[in-house]
Amino acid sequence: MSIISKDISKAISVLEAEGLVAIPTETVYGLAGNIFSEKAINSIFETKQRPFFNPLIVHIPNIYYLDKIVSHIPEKAKLLADAFWPGPITLVLKKKSVIPDLITAGKDTVAVRIPNHPTTLELLKRLDFPLAAPSANPFNRISPTTAKHVEDYFKNDIKMVLDGGACKSGIESTIIGFENEEPIIYRLGSTPIEAIEKVVGKIEIKNKKESSPNAPGMLARHYAPKTKTILSDNILESIKEYLGHRIGILAFQNKVKHEDVKFQIVLSESADMSEAASNLYDALHQLDKKDLDIIIAKRFPNQNIGKSINDRLERATK
């Protein structure tokens, strides 16, 4: 029996009973629970097999809710919130004591955002509590961008996947922290650096931290298929290294013509970076099911959202 449903009232009942519901966002599906329920938050970590040192993102219904959970909002954080919320930007801000340490891995900051998805915004408005919602996949595996992806992972572990269709952005939110009031990118994501810098000026990137990470998505290996995956600047040269193997190709714009390629996916025939980002994780899910020996992914032009796509592919190939 499928756990996928469009019934928001059912999702509310499960969440109010301290259960978990996978929810749609514009980025990826999240595995959501009541931030004030120790049982629900523990269940998120256990279901994902996620280490407790890796903090969670809190999802809120509107910008006014910030005052309930954070103690300080830098001026540039206000600019970013005004410019990009609801949307795929997460801000790491000083938390109030109401936020449990379990969510923040004991840190004095909390990662928070307003998702830009009508179904989940409606859900958040009808709940009396915000939701913690990391991506709805086992730790380190490919993030889910459809309800079916989540069901394939967790059909025996959670009560419900709230179906909101395929995720439009397809890559997690950009996470921004603040050091001495200045913004720092902790994770590249769906909002390109170039767009952020138009609002707050030049911004530093610190998006790798293996121990005690400041935010989710900072670990070197993440978003990874089970199939061995490599990132290539020259796919034809990489194919030569794996002759005689079952090869899959993840291409940007053009198909690769080679007899040893068993399966391939082009992310955007029109070379549209946003379309490629939207299709990225679904393509990796498909390739991972094809019984391949190797997936060779094409490195993207390192600009705009291409930087975020390359970031995800680099972590998938560690």
3-state secondary structure 107-131: CCEEEEECCCCHHHHHHHHHCCCCE
Bridge partners (DSSP) listed for residue 297: 231, 250
Closest CA to 215 of 95, 55, 97: 55
- CA–CA separation, 92 and 81 (whole Å): 12
pLDDT in tens, 184-227: 999 999 999 999 999 999 999 987 665 666 767 666 567 789 99
pLDDT average, residue stretch 173-189: 95
Q: For position 206, what pLDDT does the model report?
A: 86
pLDDT in tens, 96-144: 999 999 999 999 999 999 999 999 999 999 999 999 999 999 998 999 9
pLDDT average, residue stretch 256-261: 90
- CA–CA separation, 158 and 65 (whole Å): 28
- DSSP label at 187? E
- CA–CA separation, 7 and 156 (whole Å): 19
**pLDDT of 151 above 90:** yes
Q: Please, which residues have CB within 8 angstroms of residue 236's CB and are 6 or more apart in sequence?
A: 256, 258
Domains and CATH numbers, the chain: 4-170 (3.90.870.10), 229-316 (3.40.50.11030)
User: What rounded mean pLDDT belongs to the chain?
Assistant: 94
